[in-house]
Amino acid sequence: MRQVGDGTRLNSQERLFLSLAEQLTRPLLTVSHLSELAVADDPAALAHWQTVRAIADSSLQLVEGYTLSLRVHGKVTPLNLEPITISALLYDTAELLAPFARQYGVDVELDTGPRAQPVLADRAVLQAAFGSLGQVFVTAQAESEERLPVRLSAHRSRHGVVAGLYCSSTQLGVDSLRRARAIQGQARQPLQHLVGGPAAGVFVADSLLQTLAAHLHVARYHNLTGLAATLQPSQQLHLV
């Protein structure tokens, strides 16, 4: 891999994408801030401005997730591993996702169980991953006739703490994710039976989770299927 002169491990194409993503955050932030002002200034069009703001914020979060992924992969930004209470992190993610979901009339639910063990991870990376994934699931439900709630959930398994998002009992199978990996970077998004758009959030989430030596997999929990990651419990905090 060619070094690009600043000590990072980004190749020239990644450097280009990083620059593009960083550039895109600026107009998105401006739209978000100006709509935040307009929410207060223009009560007659309140609902429209709330929509503009929610869409701008969610796009900003997606681009930020992609940027973070590139930065961590390229060693521009170091990983900050720490013990994380997964239920609190999923709660924060649900709070961030809620305004976007509200625009589409989709409910966001939280189910972390009574004793979800702390995990060793990078908080920003994990939150960006679940946030990106959540946007895809919300969009998918908005396009479906059932319009089921999107559920953020964490539970213990033999291999660690399984945390992810669930939305359907039938639409998501192992095959779809296998196909996803086969065509990643070469074709359109892999979950066409769930959502018709590009679903970039799935790729962003997977890329972010790979920085934590985890990856997305199809998971089943409480009669729902979804995409989740198995995270390593934090033994240190567990002792405390």
Partner 1 sequence: MHILLIEPDRLEARAYVTVLERAGHTVAHTTMAQSAVHLADERMPDVVVLELQLPGHNGVEFLYEFRSYPEWQDVPVLLHTFVPPRELTQTPILQTELGVQRMLYKPATTLVDLCSAVQAVMLATS
Residue 37 or 45: the one with the smaller Cβ distance to partner 1 is 37
- Residues 180, 190: contact at Cβ < 8 Å? yes
Kindly give the pairing relationship between strand 108-111 and strand 150-157.
Answer: parallel
Tell me the helices (H) and strands (E) count for the chain, helix number first.
7, 7
Task: Enter the tokens of residue 212.
Answer: 């934590």
Min. distance of Cβ 6 from partner 1 in angstroms? Answer: 12
Residue 38 or 142: the one with the smaller Cβ distance to partner 1 is 38
Query: How big is the site for partner 1, counted in residues (CB under 8 A)?
Result: 19
| Range 22-51, binding partner 1 (CB under 8 A) | 22, 25-26, 29-30, 32-34, 36-37
Min. distance of Cβ 79 from partner 1 in angstroms? Answer: 9
Task: Enter the tokens of residue 56.
Answer: 């701008």
Rounded-to-integer distance, Cα 112 and Cα 107, Å: 16
Residue written as tokens 């978000």?
Answer: 32
- CA-closest candidate to residue 125, choices 87, 72, 162: 72
Residue 62 or 101: the one with the smaller Cβ distance to partner 1 is 62
| Range 106-145, binding partner 1 (CB under 8 A) | 124
Residue 32 or 225: the one with the smaller Cβ distance to partner 1 is 32
- Residues 204, 62: contact at Cβ < 8 Å? yes
Rounded-to-integer distance, Cα 55 and Cα 45, Å: 16
Min. distance of Cβ 77 from partner 1 in angstroms? Answer: 6
Residue 60 within binding range of partner 1, rule CB under 8 A = yes
Task: Enter the tokens of residue 5.
Answer: 């002169």
Min. distance of Cβ 78 from partner 1 in angstroms? Answer: 7
Query: Which residues contact residue 48 at a Cβ distance below 8 angstroms, ignoring those fewer than 6 apart?
Result: none
Q: Is 33 helix (H, G, I), strand (E, B) or coil?
A: helix
Element spanning 84, H or E: strand 81-84
Residue 33 or 220: the one with the smaller Cβ distance to partner 1 is 33
| 157, 163, 191 from 101: Cα distances, Å | 29, 20, 19
What x/- string results for residues 63 through 92 when contact with partner 1 is judged by CB under 8 A? -x---x--x----xxx-x------------
Min. distance of Cβ 37 from partner 1 in angstroms? Answer: 6
Residue 31 or 142: the one with the smaller Cβ distance to partner 1 is 31
Min. distance of Cβ 33 from partner 1 in angstroms? Answer: 4
Residue 43 or 78: the one with the smaller Cβ distance to partner 1 is 78
Where do contacts with partner 1 occur on this chain (CB under 8 A)?
Answer: 22, 25-26, 29-30, 32-34, 36-37, 60, 64, 68, 71, 76-78, 80, 124
